Amino acid sequence: MKIPVMSLLLLAGCALAAEPAPAADHATAHAQHAQGPSPVDTLVRLSAGNARFAYGKRTRSAKPDADPARRAEIAGGQHPVAAVMTCADSRVPPELLFDQGLGDLFVVRNAGNVAEPIGLGSLEYGVEHLGIRLVVVLGHSSCGAVKAVSGAAATLPGHLADIQERMPGLRALAQERARAGDAPDKVIAAAVERNAEDQARALLAGSPVLKTAVAGGVLVVPAVYDLESGLVTFLPAIDAAAKPAAEGANPAPAAHGPAPTQAPAKPPVPAKAPAPAHGH
């Protein structure tokens, strides 16, 4: 089940009202320093920010949260509310598309938003030492890395092969979808979604620290950003007991839960186009 932005906002309104003290769900004695806001609160905050972005109403990423005063305020220490592992694609800047300011997001980026050792270490730092309780693994529509890996019959050149080897199963998924008659854009959309889920699972599979954190209430949430609508669709959070999607053999697509056939909700056409320049 996907969670459109507005549904999440409504749902979270109830959750916010009913939510007990965030520390009550700790399953372990795992020490967390300076624990941040609850993951549900943060999902609501990011969803609201994404809606502002999609409709051309950014506030927090503009003024005053990117101003010199904010810069001075946080120079002595950071307290980001969420970590975002996303693609290096120039069209997917997390602070803008979630409308967050300086110091709000702890960001790991690489082509294809793949889970790899340096990124894992970065996220372990964010969770262990910065108190982050929400990790979003954000893929995006028309991802070049996903397209390259999905369509590659052989090993990709150079270090692209390092990306490719961390996306096992995408090629098989794309071939299966194409055989089933899906249009090329649908095939890539399915691969993007699968990759976000796979990489989120790989975070837990590759990091006992993150796995323990999830058992203690941290949420790792795959998501997909739509380049055209500007909207982020959040997917179900990864369970601490989740197995990596592919170890050795390609995963069986049929066993992967509901078919990703829903397109992200499109926003109505904004009355005014978003300002093209942000003065960066």
Q: Which residues bind Zn ion (CB under 5 A)?
A: 87, 89, 143
Verify cis geometry, omega within 30 degrees of 0, for the bond prior to 117.
no
Q: In Å, how far are 142, 144, 211 from 175, measured between CA atoms? A: 17, 17, 32
Closest CA to 216 of 156, 103, 126, 133: 133
Is the dihedral angle over the CA atoms 273, 227, 204, 255 positive or is it negative? positive
Task: Report, in Å, the least distance between residue 146 CB and Zn ion.
Answer: 7
Q: Is 163 or 220 the residue whose CB approaches Zn ion more closely?
A: 163
Q: Is 52 or 140 the residue whose CB approaches Zn ion more closely?
A: 140
Do residues 132 and 106 touch, judged by C-beta distance below 8 A? yes
Q: Is 184 or 208 the residue whose CB approaches Zn ion more closely?
A: 184
Q: Is 17 or 90 the residue whose CB approaches Zn ion more closely?
A: 90
Task: Report, in Å, the least distance between residue 48 CB and Zn ion.
Answer: 25
Task: Report, in Å, the least distance between residue 111 CB and Zn ion.
Answer: 6
Task: Report, in Å, the least distance between residue 86 CB and Zn ion.
Answer: 8
- Element holding 134 (H helix, E strand): strand 134-140
Task: Report, in Å, the least distance between residue 226 CB and Zn ion.
Answer: 13
Q: Is 157 or 248 the residue whose CB approaches Zn ion more closely?
A: 157
Give the whole-angstrom CA distance, residue 52 versus residue 37.
21
Q: At CA 220, angle to CA 219 and CA 224, rounded to 5?
A: 125
